[in-house]
Amino acid sequence: MLFFNIISVPVIKQVLKGEKRRNTVVRPEILIVIDEPALRYLFNINLSSRGYNVVEMKGNIDVISFVESNKPDLVILDLMIGSNNGFEICKALCEYRVSSVIAFNMRGGDADLIKCLGMGVDDYIGKPFGIDELIARINAVLRFKRFGGKKELEKIVKGSNV
């Protein structure tokens, strides 16, 4: 279920990175933070085959340093890494707010969903989920980021007569 046809996902660099160059195509960089090697491999293989540049990490304090220095477009974070270390990393990523964050969790349930959304994640997925759902959510988060993200949405809402 996790292997599908290759789909290229080119993204304009100027849109995601804010540069003024035109027609420069770059692969969005996705940081996968998962401590299970087999799951990291499946994510990497599936996202790479769809045109994403994938970086893997097991999940420790180095995640924050990596995000601060490399500014990936998106972080996919397993909340169950270590002993609830995923929630600490999630909180730090949401406070730093350089990269978009999709969190996922084996437990699922409303409590973790509400906690993550309260922290500021861009999306939350309860396991089990299929790769097609993950790809759809990644595309939605990157599309939202490409068009200005939360700041632009706040301007639109504040300026509307709704």
pLDDT in tens, 53-76: 999 998 776 898 999 999 999 999
3-state secondary structure at position 147: coil
Comparing CA positions, the residue from 61, 70, 67 lying closest to residue 89 is: 61
Cα–Cα distance, 76 to 114 (Å, whole number): 17
Residue 97 pLDDT: 84
CA distance 162 to 62: 44
How much is the pLDDT for 14? 38
How far lies 16's CA from each of 24, 42, 76, 160, in Å? 11, 25, 17, 26
In terms of Cα–Cα distance, which of 3, 41, 17, 7 is closest to 139?
A: 7
Q: Name the 3-class secondary structure at 115.
A: helix
- Alpha-carbon radius of gyration of the chain: 16
CA end-to-end span of the chain: 43
Burial class (CB in 10 A: 0-12, 13-18, 19+), 5: exposed
pLDDT of the residue at 137: 94
* Both structure tokens of 105: 């969790």
Residues of the chain with pLDDT under 70: 1-25, 61, 83-84, 108, 147-162
- What pTM did the predictor assign? 0.74
Go through the domains of the chain in sequence order and give each one's CATH number. Answer: 11-159 (3.40.50.2300)
Strand 11-12, strand 25-26: pairing: antiparallel
pLDDT of residue 16: 44
**pLDDT for position 59:** 72
